[in-house]
Structure 1
Amino acid sequence: MSNNEDIGQRLQLVRKIYGLTQRALSRRAGVTNGAISLIEQNRVSPSISSLKKILDGIPMSISEFFTLDLVPSGEVFFRDHELPDIAVGPKITMKLLGRQTKGRAMQILHEYYEPGADTGESMLRHDGEEGGVVVRGTIQLTVGDKIETLSVGDGYYFNSQLPHRFVNNSDGICEIISTNSPPTF
């Protein structure tokens, strides 16, 4: 495959990933629909300035165009029943998303705290940052010397080296979607 074929196929893939028809991209970029068609068919090799003009319609830089990995490697979608429970305490469920994903830069958890659940009297501490949003119920969160009860729609974000603890003092289940970076599990 020549460079021309790489450019044509890559442009077509990028355009489709961004949900653009040739006509929509041509309008956004200010070029003719025929020009995009010819490039994608590898019948014309675009100049750098022409390619830049087309990519500005996405928008995407030339370096992103040539270096971006456009095909997902490994799994992308995960079903609830496939998520391993990595909770370390009773009355707590922590389902980990993408555990087998190589080189993860973050950790995403779907957490459930039953009434009376507590991450422990010893405060948690680890490297990185974490954040989350309560999607059901309430949770009492202690971070350093601050204590707050969070409800549906409330969130948190903090340096994970600060001592922290989660407690469900309510009579209902608390559900949280959270993330940590870097991953600790």
Structure 2
Amino acid sequence: MDNEIAVGARLKHARLNLKLNLRQLADKVGCTESYLSKVENNKVRPSLPMLHKIAVTLGISVAKLFIDGDNAEGHVTVMRDGQRQVLRTEHHRAGDAVSLETLLPSHLCTLLEANIHHVPAGASSQGFLEHQGEEMGFVLQGELELTVSDQTVRVGAGDSFFFLSHLPHGYRNIGSVDARVLWVNTPQSF
């Protein structure tokens, strides 16, 4: 995955557009100024819940971090294998961060968001997310433990799932191999 997105500059740009300093944003999202500075300078990768909290506070979706400024021509947009952008999150252990590979051009799609979640063995979403919308997933490889509200289920290759996004939700890879999950949200919220 060579097309890793460095989200720091995009988050900083959004923060400055709102005329917020680091302390103000840190207070709103519940972290330190130092941590935010490291995120903005791509020294650390935030967890999925923290990245979502920062993006929502800045009035953007995580999907907007995938925007590269290119405009599609015609009625069909193709995102070739190996050319899609990848967003990596905070490491669970050395070397095994969850990453999201974008499947749709977020600057063209306003209702739908689709990614492939690459979840190394033992890695997790590192907390729970809650937002408006609906989500579905299809496990391409591996096995996850998915928790939605007070229900925990195991899903493996070939399984699909659906839930309402306003319920607290998170996941972890309980298998011995990396998991790959096609994950679709509507509206764009992550």
Please give the range of the TM-score, normalised by the shorter of the 2 chains. 0.5 to 0.7
In structure 2, do the counterparts of structure 1 residues 160 and 87 end up closer, same or farther at CA, with 3 Å as the change threshold? farther
Match of 2:113 among 103, 107, 119: 107
CA distance in 2, matches of 1:82, 1:74: 19
Larger Rg: 1
CA distance in 2, matches of 1:109, 1:94: 6
Stretches of structure 1 lacking an aligned partner (at least 5 in a row):
1-71
Match of 1:173 among 156, 178, 182: 178
Number of residue-to-residue matches in the alignment: 113
Match of 2:144 among 139, 164, 168: 139
Q: Is 1:153 aligned to residue 158 of structure 2?
A: yes
- Greater displacement, 154-163 / 74-83: 74-83
Q: Does the 8 Å contact 1:89/1:119 carry over to 2? A: no
- The list of structure 1 runs, each at least 4 consecutive aligned residues, that deviate by more than 3 angstroms after superposition, is 72-75
TM-score, normalised to structure 2's length? Answer: 0.55
Higher helix share: 1
Stretches of structure 2 lacking an aligned partner (at least 5 in a row):
1-72, 92-96
Residues 58-95 of structure 1: per-residue CA shift (max 9 Å, x gap) = xxxxxxxxxxxxxx746511112221112433221110
Structure number with higher relative contact order (C-alpha < 8 Å, ≥ 6 residues apart): 2
Indicate the residue corresponding to 2:48 in structure 1.
Answer: none
Residues 112-171 of structure 1: per-residue CA shift (max 9 Å, x gap) = 110111111x31111111001101110000001000110111111111110001100211
Write the mapping of 1:21-32 to structure 2, written as runs, cut at 5 A: none
**DSSP 3-state at the match of 1:104:** coil
Higher strand share: 2
Q: Does the 8 Å contact 1:140/1:148 carry over to 2? A: yes
TM-score, normalised to structure 1's length? Answer: 0.56
- Over the matched positions of the two proteins, sequence identity in percent amounts to 25
Match of 2:122 among 116, 122, 125: 116
CA distance in 1, matches of 2:90, 2:160: 22
Q: How far apart are 1:107 and its partner, in Å?
A: 0.3
Indicate the residue corresponding to 1:92 in structure 2.
Answer: 98
